[in-house]
Homo-oligomer: A and B are copies of this chain.
Amino acid sequence: MMQRLDSRDAGFAASFAALVADTREPDRGVAGQVAAILERVKREGFRAVADLTEKFDRVHLSAGSAEISAAERRAAIARVPADQRAALELAAARIRAFHQAQRPADGSHSDESGIRAGWRWTPVERAGLYVPGGRAAYPSSVLMNAIPAQVAGVDELVMVTPTPGGELNPLVMLAAELAGVERLFRIGGAQAIAALAFGIDPLPKCDMIVGPGNAWVAEAKRQLYGTVGIDMVAGPSEILVIADASARPDWIAADLLSQAEHDPVAQSILITDSATLADAVADWVQKLLPTLSTQEAARESWDDYGAIILIGDMAEAPALANALAAEHVELMLADPQPMFAAIRHAGSIFLGTHTPEPIGDYIGGPNHVLPTGRRARFSGGLGVHNFMKRTTWLDAGEQGFAAVADATATLADAEGLPAHALSVRIRRG
């Protein structure tokens, strides 16, 4: 059953520490299997990709049929209902506008020495986007992964997605269209990641690979990190709601369940100083659960990983929130600003009663690809800068060179690097 903690209980510190320590990422023992798949794809090329696709997706692939044609894409897109198209177009426009505001700026620095230095951001050339097939084929994830790449100015965006049984998801095809995905391949799993990283013909070699996936896909990205850039190491989703007595318990219950329905290992936590609210939310969760077609996953998540934490004073909340470093934090407070200012570690923060987290999942503007498993302590969500890289530059000039030449040679000598010292001294003549 869902945990209930009270910060005034004797055992609270230990129980809370255990909650923080459990990042719900059991070692599924996939590392060895994934390493074998990567090695096989590298060695055997497309034949290995086709074999594995036949095995896992029951789809027979040739090099000529691996790519989803423009005609297939058009036919699938034509099946999207008008209201879904309008909603997706609104989402794409809003996400694009937010990310355009986020483009990192070039900069420079100079001083009286005469030395000029700076940095310049440039986009990667080609990015690969993994999109899961089946139940977790989310068009919103296509927008969230592809639009930042598009805004960054990436030359070519290549998408891979498994099509178990051969079926294309119309809304996913439309999202790819809206987000400027040039090429699509019907390949999934670790073999798709390998094909993008190594450039297994007909798939082009990508400089970075992003997007959600199952344990095999996530592990393949992790193992290839350094060979290519990746977005992040992702775990199951999570939400933390911080609420005071002014908040509606039914709204909070729905928000908690919106995370829980993603995955049996998702996590939903409520922190409140109101015992009345805590009880009411627990009741509402039970009332709403049976109405959901996703109730099985939602119930399992809530029972196994859900938690309601009662605190004596709202001033205790920031420290707890920072330790949890949750992917999503909702501030259901009469005045969310002081709490917002006090929270340091969070993937994304949703302020006030009318910003339920699903608004951010789809349409608010900020990215929904966010750090999980306490990783918000050291990393942020996906953004335009993930698809760009910063090149620094230095221009000493004769005057600047003269100002620092001796100090440079001194340090090079101290480090035992004579050619470093020589490259300075040889210029002094």
Contacting pair B404 A359 (CB below 8 A): yes
Which of B91, B233, B348 is in CB contact (< 8 Å) with A226? B233
Whole-angstrom distance between the Cβ of A420 and the nearest chain B Cβ: 4
Contacting B at CB under 8 A, from A54-101, are 83-84, 86-88, 90-91, 94, 97-98, 101
CB within 8 Å for A391 and B352 given contacts A364-B117, A417-B261: no
Q: Closest residue of chain B to A346, judged by CB? A: B391
Bound CA span A360–B295, Å: 59
Bound: A115/B225 CA distance, A: 36
Across the interface, A293 reaches (CB within 8 A) one of B104, B261, B418, namely B418
In Å, the complex CA distance between A131 and B382 comes to 30
Q: Are B378 and A229 in contact (CB under 8 A)?
A: yes
In the complex, whether A394 has a CB less than 8 A from a CB of chain B is yes
Query: Once the chains bind, are B107 and A404 in contact (CB under 8 Å)?
Result: no
The complex places the Cα of A376 from the Cα of B228 at a distance, in Å, of: 10
**Bound CA span A124–B108, Å:** 25
Q: Does A140 contact B377, Cβ atoms closer than 8 Å?
A: no
A270 within 8 A of B: no
Name the one of B122, B407, B415 contacting A345, with C-beta atoms under 8 angstroms: B122
CB-based contact B359/A416 at 8 Å? no
- Residues of A within 8 Å of B, CB-based: how many? 124
Distance (Å) between the CB of A4 and the closest chain B CB?
A: 21
Question: B residues within 8 A CB of A288?
Answer: 419, 422
Is B294 a contact partner of A352 (Cβ separation < 8 A)?
Answer: no
Known A391-B348, A412-B362: A377·B422 in contact at CB below 8 Å:
no
Cross-chain contact A417 with B258 (CB below 8 angstroms): yes
16 other contacts beyond A135-B416, A251-B426, A362-B407, with CB at 8 A cut-off? A84-B411, A84-B414, A86-B410, A94-B404, A124-B377, A171-B414, A208-B378, A254-B419, A348-B391, A348-B393, A354-B396, A355-B401, A361-B412, A362-B412, A366-B392, A380-B389
Q: What are 23 of the A-B contact pairs (CB < 8 Å)?
A: A98-B109, A101-B107, A101-B108, A115-B365, A139-B411, A250-B426, A257-B419, A258-B420, A261-B418, A261-B420, A294-B419, A340-B393, A349-B393, A352-B397, A355-B395, A355-B400, A355-B401, A356-B424, A358-B417, A359-B424, A364-B396, A365-B394, A381-B392
